[in-house]
Amino acid sequence: MCEPFAPDALLEAVRGLRLAEPELGVKPLLTKLREQRPELGAATKEVREALATLKAESEAAAKAAASRPAAIERGAPSNVELSLRCIGCARMPSEMDDGREKHPICDKCRELKLQTTYMCGMDCPANPGALELHGLFHKKLRKQMKKQEDGGATQQQTRELAEEQARSAAQTGSEYSKLVAEGMRYQSKEDYRKAGKAYREAIALRPDKPTAYFNLGVALGNSGHKVEAAQRFLEARERYPVGSEKWARATASAFDKLRLEECAEVAKPEWWSDEGLKALSARVVRVAPNDTLANFMRAMVLSGSPGAWEVGPRSATELEEAAAHWDRAAALSNAPALKAEFASFANACRGRAEAM
């Protein structure tokens, strides 16, 4: 006899499936859930209750989205159903009066194989500036891509990791590993739409495992969806062993997104304070001394990031240490533009320290 799912575990499993396939009805969702998690048993009522909970969360998030400037919310869904909502007015396709199943997809997002962005129309009645703001989003994303250009080094590394993951999946027969490998193959081709879909399916299958959350965060970040990327990195961080190198990488990746203007309205973790970040960044770089983002995090915290959190005074010793980590981040980076930027930050910190 199968043990019943705990309510939280069932909600997480249903949330994962909704994340992967937002349009599934109750019956097909229940069928797929039973295929993936046979221990579920006959829990139709509980699944409906979980869906009702997700719907309530979605409505609350939509209400919050409608009350904020569109610039904060653009391209960054905060829960499992917002991925289908219009980025201007936050309405679901089902809320329109023309029977549509989906809103139109941004042609530029489709062309660039980014995570999907929907708009209810060229002129969103609730937010006429949404299309223009999304155009600015693409301009900013182009600059980001240019800055991160590293001659294909990251793509090659991802391709090799995908092959390694695929071999592991073939040996173990793990469907989860197979989906992660599939996502990494697409990611190595910079097809973030298909990569994201594979990772979301992996999360739906095993919501307790961290890798797909982390990889989805990378795909979302590369697509310009910074808010959801931060959330996925935090979810990965919660699932990795505390103090491990992967935990450190997930922490540094979450920090990198949470410090951005796009995440200004996002609720921050309990460690998001000057002293908390100093202590955490020291631990992160100690655990992962050869990780670019770990050194970036430590350097950024000791330098003091204006506006991202309330920064206290910095000593000459802290600024000198920040410069050393900027130098280390520059040495570890494969992107020429980032190398130059990090080196300039190192020089600026040394200049501030010398002036004290």
Can you tell me the distance from the alpha carbon of 56 to that of 164, in angstroms, rounded to the nearest whole number?
41
Helix, coil or strand: residue 257: helix
Both 207 and 279 in one domain: the answer is no
Q: Is 173 left (phi over 0), alpha (psi -120 to 50) or beta?
A: left
CATH number at residue 159: 1.25.40.10
Backbone phi and psi for residue 73, each to the nearest 5 degrees, phi listed first: -95, -15
Torsion angle of C-alpha atoms 137, 139, 140, 142, degrees rounded to 10: 120
With tokens 């990195």, the residue in question is 233
**Contacting residues for 245 by C-beta, under 8 A, at least 6 apart:** 287, 288, 291
Q: What is the pLDDT of residue 5?
A: 44
Can you tell me the distance from the alpha carbon of 140 to that of 23, in angstroms, rounded to the nearest whole number?
31
Backbone phi and psi for residue 87, each to the nearest 5 degrees, phi listed first: -70, -15
Q: Please state the separation of Cα 236 from the chain's center in Å.
A: 10
Both 154 and 263 in one domain: the answer is yes
CA angle, residues 311, 232, 267, in degrees to nearest 5:
40
Both 155 and 263 in one domain: the answer is yes
Could you tell me if 182 and 198 are in contact, meaning their C-beta atoms sit under 8 angstroms apart?
yes
Q: What is the pLDDT of residue 62?
A: 45
CA angle, residues 56, 63, 207, in degrees to nearest 5:
45
Which of residues 267, 298, 333 is at a domain's end?
Answer: 267
Both 156 and 245 in one domain: the answer is yes
Backbone phi and psi for residue 123, each to the nearest 5 degrees, phi listed first: -120, 90
Can you tell me the distance from the alpha carbon of 69 to that of 81, in angstroms, rounded to the nearest whole number?
19
Cβ-based burial of 341 (10 A; exposed 0-12, middle 13-18, buried ≥19): middle
Which of residues 106, 128, 148 is at a domain's end?
Answer: 148
Both 275 and 234 in one domain: the answer is no
Name all contacts of 326-335 with Cβ < 8 Å and 24+ positions apart: 326/295, 326/299, 328/289, 328/295, 328/299, 329/292, 329/295, 329/296, 329/299, 332/290, 332/291, 332/292, 332/295, 333/150, 333/292, 334/150, 334/151, 334/153, 334/154, 335/147, 335/148, 335/149, 335/150
Q: What is the pLDDT of residues 52-93, one digit of tens each?
A: 666 665 555 444 444 433 333 333 333 344 456 777 777 788
Both 124 and 81 in one domain: the answer is yes
Both 167 and 261 in one domain: the answer is yes
Can you tell me the distance from the alpha carbon of 308 to that of 255, in angstroms, rounded to the nearest whole number?
10
Q: What is the pLDDT of residues 122-181, one digit of tens each?
A: 777 777 777 777 777 777 777 777 777 878 888 888 888 889 888 988 988 889 999 999
Q: What is the pLDDT of residue 229?
A: 92
Backbone phi and psi for residue 196, each to the nearest 5 degrees, phi listed first: -60, -40
Q: Enumerate residue ranges in the chain where pLDDT < 70.
A: 1-27, 36-44, 46-48, 50-84, 116
Both 275 and 349 in one domain: the answer is yes
Both 54 and 86 in one domain: the answer is no
Could you tell me if 58 and 90 are in contact, meaning their C-beta atoms sit under 8 angstroms apart?
no
Both 261 and 170 in one domain: the answer is yes
Can you tell me the distance from the alpha carbon of 134 to that of 161, in angstroms, rounded to the nearest whole number?
33
Both 15 and 113 in one domain: the answer is no
pTM of the model: 0.72
Can you tell me the distance from the alpha carbon of 291 to that of 283, in angstroms, rounded to the nearest whole number?
13
How many domains, in total, are found in the chain? 4
Both 217 and 246 in one domain: the answer is yes
| Domain that residue 181 falls in | 150-267
Which of residues 267, 284, 313 is at a domain's end?
Answer: 267
Please name every residue paired with 342 in a beta bridge, in sequence order, or none if there are none: none
Can you tell me the distance from the alpha carbon of 72 to that of 345, in angstroms, rounded to the nearest whole number?
27
8-state DSSP, 261:
G
